[in-house]
């Protein structure tokens, strides 16, 4: 039997109240606890996340699925909407892993249809950057870039749908495609808990 997820933010430059407000906006999440840590000046280099290290690409977050841990940049504690959007995105990386192949294929079919209809835009930078790398060549469904795009699109869509952030400069996908994605999420998860 799965239990409701409890989020455990660390004290360093974090706000337990902010994390709790975000958790209350989310649909019920089921699974083992996920630890949340805040560290200053996050960067990524060669696939590794660093704090206060020169060089690398600045990032706001990183997730470690096996360790059940999310690391967020301390800067987000002063930006509640961005914290909500990014934390929701990171939590849905855990959901993607547990989604199951039939649902992942179904979501992939939805995105293939969008590409065939020349849908522009996305619901976050993570998905947008991977989508732009795919176009104009439609990828075989088993390539790593396609799988990365599916995952990031799923997480960005969940952040748009569940974070409580209604407007953002990264929400560039057309309304009819947003509505189709929302319908997919509601049909896939309904009122059931989301396994993470």
For 138-185, what is each residue's pLDDT tens digit? Answer: 656 668 889 999 999 999 999 999 999 999 999 999 999 999 999 999
Query: What is the Cα–Cα distance from 22 to 44, expressed in whole angstroms?
Result: 25
Question: Over the stretch 105-149, which tens digit does the pLDDT of each residue have?
Answer: 999 999 999 999 999 999 999 999 999 888 666 656 668 889 999
69 torsion bin: left (phi>0), alpha (psi -120 to 50), beta (else): beta
Q: How many Cβ atoms from other residues are within 10 Å of residue 99's Cβ?
A: 20
Domain regions of the chain by residue span? 7-79, 101-195
Residue 16 φ/ψ, nearest 5 degrees: -60, -35
Confidence category of residue 10, pLDDT binned at 50, 70, 90: low
Name which of 43, 154, 134 is nearest 90 in CA terms.
Answer: 154
How far apart CA 38 and CA 43 sit, in angstroms, is 13
Q: Express each pLDDT in 18-70 by its tens digit.
A: 788 888 888 889 999 998 889 999 999 988 999 998 888 999 999 999 999 99
Distance CA 137, CA 89 (A): 27
Angular region, 24: left φ>0, alpha ψ -120 to 50, beta rest: alpha
Structure tokens at 66: 């096996």
At 13 the pLDDT is 65
């Amino acid at each position: 039997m799965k239990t409701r997820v409890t989020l455990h933010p660390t004290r360093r430059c974090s706000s337990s109240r902010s994390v709790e407000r975000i958790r209350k906006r989310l649909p019920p999440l089921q699974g083992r606890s996920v630890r949340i840590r805040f560290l200053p000046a996050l960067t990524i280099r060669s696939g590794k996340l660093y704090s206060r290290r020169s060089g690398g690409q600045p990032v706001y977050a990183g997730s470690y699925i096996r360790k059940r841990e999310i690391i967020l940049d301390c800067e987000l504690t002063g930006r509640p909407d961005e914290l909500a959007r990014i934390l929701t995105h990171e939590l849905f990386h855990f959901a993607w892993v547990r989604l199951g192949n039939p649902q992942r294929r179904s979501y992939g079919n939805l995105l293939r249809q969008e590409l065939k209809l020349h849908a522009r835009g996305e619901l976050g930078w993570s998905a947008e950057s991977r989508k732009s790398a795919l176009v104009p060549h439609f990828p075989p469904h088993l390539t790593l870039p396609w799988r990365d795009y599916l995952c990031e699109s799923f997480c960005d869509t969940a952040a748009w749908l569940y974070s409580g952030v209604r407007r953002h400069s990264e929400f560039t996908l057309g309304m009819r495609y947003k509505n189709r994605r929302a319908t997919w999420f509601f049909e896939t998860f309904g009122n059931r808990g989301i396994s993470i």
